[in-house]
């Protein structure tokens, strides 16, 4: 599995914690920035990670901003992205199992460095259940095509 990861300034410290975990897990990743806590615009990072995921350069994406909300809003503007704001291991697992989320967003101001590894592990290790959830994903796909 290849991971695309990115953050704005508010998520920088948590992103660095997550990168250390990815190194520990020996999972390859590409860091799309930012490289410091100097303010940047999160939509630019969200767009880069999103294109990496939908373009097949990465299998999953992780985005971190202050709350995860802005990153999710920006990422979900890209066709094919299913970005979910997650706040614990349960929401990470369910975002994958029920919604086939391909990008997880976290809040650097709302998610502790101690809780982040469990959340990331849950997101990366959970598969999509399919079944009854498939028709819902098809409806989302139709919305993308209709509004494009």
For residue 139, the Cα-to-chain-centroid distance in whole angstroms is 21
51 is catalytic: no
Q: Which residue out of 9, 51, 65, 133 is catalytically annotated? A: 65
Q: Which residue out of 9, 51, 98, 133 is catalytically annotated? A: 98
Cβ atoms of 3 and 62 closer than 8 Å? yes
Q: Which residues contact 99 (CB under 8 A, 6 or more apart)?
A: 82, 84, 133, 136, 137
Q: Which of 141, 10, 127, 140 is nearest to 63 (CA)?
A: 10
Q: Could you say which DSSP state residue 66 is in?
A: S
Buried/exposed 85-94: b ≥16 CB within 10 Å, e otherwise: bbbebebbbb
98 is catalytic: yes
Which residues are annotated as catalytic? 65, 98
């Amino acid at each position: 599995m290849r991971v695309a990861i990115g953050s704005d300034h508010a998520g920088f410290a948590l992103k660095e914690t997550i990168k250390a975990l990815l190194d520990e897990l020996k999972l390859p990743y590409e860091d799309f920035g930012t490289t410091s806590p100097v303010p940047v615009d999160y939509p630019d990072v969200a767009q880069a990670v999103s294109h990496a995921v939908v373009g097949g350069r990465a299998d999953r994406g992780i985005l971190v901003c202050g709350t995860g909300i802005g990153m999710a809003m920006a990422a979900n503007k890209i066709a094919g992205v299913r970005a979910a704001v997650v706040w614990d291991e349960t929401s990470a697992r369910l975002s994958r199992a029920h919604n086939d989320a391909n990008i997880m967003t976290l809040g650097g101001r709302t998610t502790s460095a101690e809780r982040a590894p469990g959340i990331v592990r849950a997101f990366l290790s959970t598969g999509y259940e399919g079944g009854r959830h498939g028709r819902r994903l098809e409806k989302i796909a139709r919305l993308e095509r209709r509004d494009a």
